[in-house]
Structure 1
Amino acid sequence: MERNIHIRFTSDTHGHIFPVNYATHTAEDSGLLAMAASAVKDSNTLVLDGGDSLQGTPLTQYYLEHRQSWPVHPVAAAFNALQLDYYTLGNHDFNFGYEALQEYLAAMNGQCLCANLTDLGGKLQFAPWTVHTLENGLRVGITGVVTDFVNIWEQPQNLELLRITDAFEAAKAACEALKGKCDLRICLYHGGFEEDLATGRLLSDSGENIACRLARELDFDLLLTGHQHMAVEGAELYGTYAVQCPANAGRYLDISGHVGPDGTVYSSRFVPAGTADQAQTAADLMPLEEAVQRWLDQPIGSLTQPVLPEGKLEVALHGSHVADLFNLVQLEATGADISCTSLGNDPVGLASPVTMREVTAAYLFANTLVVLEVTESVLRRTLERCAAYFTLQDGKPEVSQEFLLPKVEHYNYDFYAGISYTLDLRRPVGDRITRLTLPDGSPLGDKTYRLCTSNYRATGTGGYEILRECPVLWRGGTEMPDLTAEYIRKHSPVNLNAPGEMQVVW
């Protein structure tokens, strides 16, 4: 007898609830409420999510900072409207601490599955795996796993009552536990592909992403991945059917499985979110949304001159006024000698007067600050990684494919303040730093220096592994958008000239 399963899969929705672009204050085709308005569910349909839901928009930022004032959890309410059945956690879902995570899980109607999470506090509502029987009798085994790089990225205080164990071993144990109990086994994996899906070429052996290993060595029928923000509509991967959603709730995956005596055939397609909200939940959340919009439009200060949106290659070659601002903020907040920061994938600028909308659009993440002890040798290695961002085509600089595939990673190019340096793109990758001095031209010498960077970069992520080995001198708890707003209020009109100078030659 042939039986069918239908799955709606979302992942990496990053706080996108309403179909709104907060940077421009315009409507866009995105959001969980738009998906909830257009999607139809029956008793042979499962709605699943792959995590990274709590961080990413001003709405979730504002809510989590003022959550005692709002009775409805906006992310949970949106997923409940979507009729979510099961979900796992993403690395960003741990960014706000144990209590915020507990409140989120308690507000969700769907069940959290996370096989490599241990709760020492005993208050989180989750399970390692489950078996769900559809109306047609098909038994579906489901587990969830989050990349164990949470242990590298997350602030220690947010993991005091939690343990994230090895992702592969947890997935393996869950796969074995489900054996014989179900007709299909599904892994919700908040992690991505470490191999090129077209060629099989190994892209990274760090362990951050192990989807290909999961498919190759374990017996899951479906591998629903996330984290990388790649659009993988469907791929046969070592006998497992694998997919991945792009970020920010613009599209979800509609997956169909036809289970017959000769096996299972899967197909999948992306479905646009649309723009029409699910009316009742939208009405419930509208007071919060209106408060967020008022907060975003509050002027907080001014600049000596506005900054037009900056192209990615242009600023990597010539410097960024937006990055200068973030480095000035970091230097003042920490008293460090040197600062480095990065920008998101999309071009951003800053109007004057500056509002919270501009700040949150320019600095997208809930990063805090870390001060590391570094030497000239460490700085040379990190700058060589920055220099690898470029390649020369017919003598002209372009962005290296290493920063574009398998996903776009402009945010792994760093901008520095407190040093002066030259990158020579005519030289081979790894040997492009031809000048490195203090801003006054004096050599760095044998001294150690205090380098301020984000908690994300301090873990060595993005090819900066040397930073992971550096002694930590200080950790902050305030997020960069809030530090930036405070700096602009204090120093208006802000002059965007950070100390130091960068030169790129080719």
Structure 2
Amino acid sequence: MKIVIYQTSDLHGYIYPTNYVNDQPLGFLKIASYILNDEKKYDSSLKIDCGDLVQGSALTHFLSKNNIKENPIIKGLEAVNYNAYVIGNHEFNYGLNYLKNAYNQVSKKVINANIKGLPFETKPYEIFDFNGFKIGCIGFTTVYIPNWEQEANIKNLEFLDPIKQYAKYEKELKEKCDMIIVCYHGGFEKSLDDEMIPTEALTKENQASELLENFNSIDIILSGHQHRSFITKIRGVICSQPMHNGQSFTKIVIDTDSKDISYELVDVSKLNDEIDDKLENIFTQIQKDLGVYLDQIIGEFDKDMRIDDIFLARLKGHPFINFLHEVQLDVSGADFSSLAVFDSAMGFSKKISVRDVLINYPYPNTLKVLEVTGRKLKEAIEKSATYFEVEDGRIVVSKDFLVPKVQHYNYDTYGGLEYKIDLSREHYDRVVYMKKDGKGIDMDEKYTIVVNNYRASNTSIYPAYKDCKVVKEINLDMSEIILDYIQKHKKITVNDKHNYFID
């Protein structure tokens, strides 16, 4: 008997093969259409999604604002007969009501061994019986969520350590199953080989390597969260993580007679299957409604500020970055502003639609205003300055921001001041000057800085913000703040002056 396992993760609401600006070789409809054809080759199939499913795209933003009772994304996966779901960290971004509305309809299929208090019933694991061959799937979600998420979105929830929870269920899984699969919305904190050398701070955000080190009963780990792309064996265990936004997915084939197991990551860009009409019909009306919403023109700039080269924008500054700082400073009243330019950023043409805003800022981050000293501000800018290195006379991105995962979102630019960075100097001694209104910033004076909620709470990356007093919380999504700002001002003058200099 041959059993095929398909795993998706971090789809982030990417259903159609588009980012809502251009066609893209990605998305659930392409994956699902392939699965419907491919699974016919095997005796049985098992389909698992490992989280970050219903947040992260223009579509999910629209769904969250329109209080949709039956989430079409879940409906789409159900049309392909998914067997198990794991909750991702971004599932909480739109609040518990959105989470409940999305997953309540499939709560019996949600495997969750380490989150207590969810607003629907779940089970820690599920055992699937294929003519006597039993596969146990246990579900875990990263415990690091309280470090990022707004308190209201995780109220009364408890996140338990996956290591302790696996130990709790290991014996019964071993007794009942021929194979154990860990389905984990979290990643690998150590190298993807038998040496397992730490590749990041061991904060418990990612604990897949720790699971391998502590238990020898696991046959497969299906992971997510890190937006990496790999499938390999570590200490004899098949470990996989597909690329985000439906760019790839895991396929594993088990021959229960010969005991052979084959595995691969399927690259969606190489699929030629026609999109299944019945599947697409699930989304037809919501896609039309979304198109009308996205195409609304809400304001106008006096000139174009498209981003042609995002690396140069991060390095040299850009009118689009200036605009985001203006928005954050306006809504917060802070002295300074800090922000990351996301990989999806394209900048704006003269006329601005809702679509433009959501493509440039797809995440539902809120803002916090922190009290910092001039010294803490310098410390934060010094951290950002480690993003760049000089190799053979060229400025490049530091490998620390590329390996083991790409982390462009951890490089911040700063507004409300002028500053200079000298890359020829050692790390954490690169800031040459910081000035506000032409005057040097006092290291001991107190100032305020507006940052997104992720940066304010995830202080393992930016320790300068640890224990800083929260002066104000702005509990509106940043995309909503941008939309409000544009609709309020209507016609906006582009600021193309540089306020930071890096060489």
Would the aligned equivalents of 1:147 and 1:191 in 2 still touch at CA under 8 Å? Answer: yes
The answer for the alignment partner of 2:46 in structure 1 is 46
Task: State the AA in 1 paired with 2:465.
Answer: L
Q: Which blocks of at least 5 consecutive residues in structure 1 are unaligned?
A: none
* Equivalent residue pairs, number: 494
Identify the match of residue 258 of structure 1 among 255, 258, 264.
255
Would the aligned equivalents of 1:14 and 1:53 in 2 still touch at CA under 8 Å? Answer: yes
**1:413-448 residue CA offsets vs partner (Å, 9 max, x unmatched):** 101111221111000112111112223223234222
**1:206-226 residue CA offsets vs partner (Å, 9 max, x unmatched):** 221121111222221100011
Would the aligned equivalents of 2:79 and 2:279 in 1 still touch at CA under 8 Å? Answer: yes
Cα distance in structure 2, aligned partners of 1:118 and 1:375: 39
Q: Once the 2 structures are TM-superposed, how far is the Cα of residue 386 of structure 1 from its aligned partner?
A: 0.8
Cα distance in structure 2, aligned partners of 1:443 and 1:117: 45
The answer for the alignment partner of 1:382 in structure 2 is 380
Q: Is 1:279 paired with 2:277?
A: yes
Cα distance in structure 2, aligned partners of 1:188 and 1:11: 10
Cα distance in structure 2, aligned partners of 1:466 and 1:487: 29
**SS across alignment from 1:256:** strand
The answer for the alignment partner of 2:245 in structure 1 is 248
Would the aligned equivalents of 1:345 and 1:408 in 2 still touch at CA under 8 Å? Answer: no
Cα distance in structure 2, aligned partners of 1:7 and 1:330: 45
**SS across alignment from 1:173:** helix
**1:171-215 residue CA offsets vs partner (Å, 9 max, x unmatched):** 332334412111100111111121232574321122211211112
Would the aligned equivalents of 1:83 and 1:110 in 2 still touch at CA under 8 Å? Answer: no
**SS across alignment from 2:48:** strand
Cα distance in structure 2, aligned partners of 1:6 and 1:482: 43
- When structure 1 is superposed on structure 2, of 74-83 and 307-316 the one drifting more is 307-316
Give 1:44-443 correspondences, 5 Å limit: 44-67=44-67, 70=68, 72-108=70-106, 111-119=109-117, 123-134=119-130, 136-197=131-192, 200-204=196-200, 205-218=202-215, 219-232=217-230, 234-259=231-256, 265-272=261-268, 276-346=274-344, 348-443=346-441
**SS across alignment from 2:334:** coil
**SS across alignment from 2:246:** coil
Q: Which blocks of at least 5 consecutive residues in structure 2 are unaligned?
A: none
Cα distance in structure 2, aligned partners of 1:458 and 1:264: 48
Q: Once the 2 structures are TM-superposed, how far is the Cα of residue 495 of structure 1 from its aligned partner?
A: 2.6
Q: Once the 2 structures are TM-superposed, how far is the Cα of residue 461 of structure 1 from its aligned partner?
A: 5.5
Would the aligned equivalents of 1:439 and 1:501 in 2 still touch at CA under 8 Å? Answer: no
Would the aligned equivalents of 1:13 and 1:248 in 2 still touch at CA under 8 Å? Answer: yes
Q: Once the 2 structures are TM-superposed, how far is the Cα of residue 60 of structure 1 from its aligned partner?
A: 0.9
Q: Once the 2 structures are TM-superposed, how far is the Cα of residue 43 of structure 1 from its aligned partner?
A: 5.7
Task: State the AA in 1 paired with 2:414.
Answer: Y
Q: How well do the aligned residues superpose, as a CA RMSD in angstroms?
A: 2.1
Q: Once the 2 structures are TM-superposed, how far is the Cα of residue 71 of structure 1 from its aligned partner?
A: 5.3
> Aligned in 2, Cα 1:265/1:283: closer, same or farther, shift over 3 Å?
closer
The answer for the alignment partner of 1:492 in structure 2 is 490
**1:361-387 residue CA offsets vs partner (Å, 9 max, x unmatched):** 111211111111111221122111111
- When structure 1 is superposed on structure 2, of 86-95 and 110-119 the one drifting more is 110-119
Would the aligned equivalents of 1:418 and 1:500 in 2 still touch at CA under 8 Å? Answer: no
TM-score by length of 1: 0.92
Cα distance in structure 1, aligned partners of 2:365 and 2:456: 11
TM-score by length of 2: 0.93
Q: Is 1:36 paired with 2:5?
A: no
> Aligned in 2, Cα 1:231/1:130: closer, same or farther, shift over 3 Å?
same
Task: State the AA in 2 paired with 1:119.
Answer: G
Would the aligned equivalents of 1:80 and 1:110 in 2 still touch at CA under 8 Å? Answer: no
Cα distance in structure 2, aligned partners of 1:436 and 1:275: 56
Would the aligned equivalents of 2:49 and 2:85 in 1 still touch at CA under 8 Å? Answer: yes
**SS across alignment from 1:22:** coil
Q: Once the 2 structures are TM-superposed, how far is the Cα of residue 84 of structure 1 from its aligned partner?
A: 0.7
> Aligned in 2, Cα 1:347/1:332: closer, same or farther, shift over 3 Å?
closer
Cα distance in structure 1, aligned partners of 2:496 and 2:302: 14
Task: State the AA in 2 paired with 1:399.
Answer: V
Q: Once the 2 structures are TM-superposed, how far is the Cα of residue 289 of structure 1 from its aligned partner?
A: 0.7
Would the aligned equivalents of 2:112 and 2:125 in 1 still touch at CA under 8 Å? Answer: yes
> Aligned in 2, Cα 1:409/1:496: closer, same or farther, shift over 3 Å?
farther
Cα distance in structure 1, aligned partners of 2:117 and 2:85: 17
Q: Once the 2 structures are TM-superposed, how far is the Cα of residue 499 of structure 1 from its aligned partner?
A: 9.2
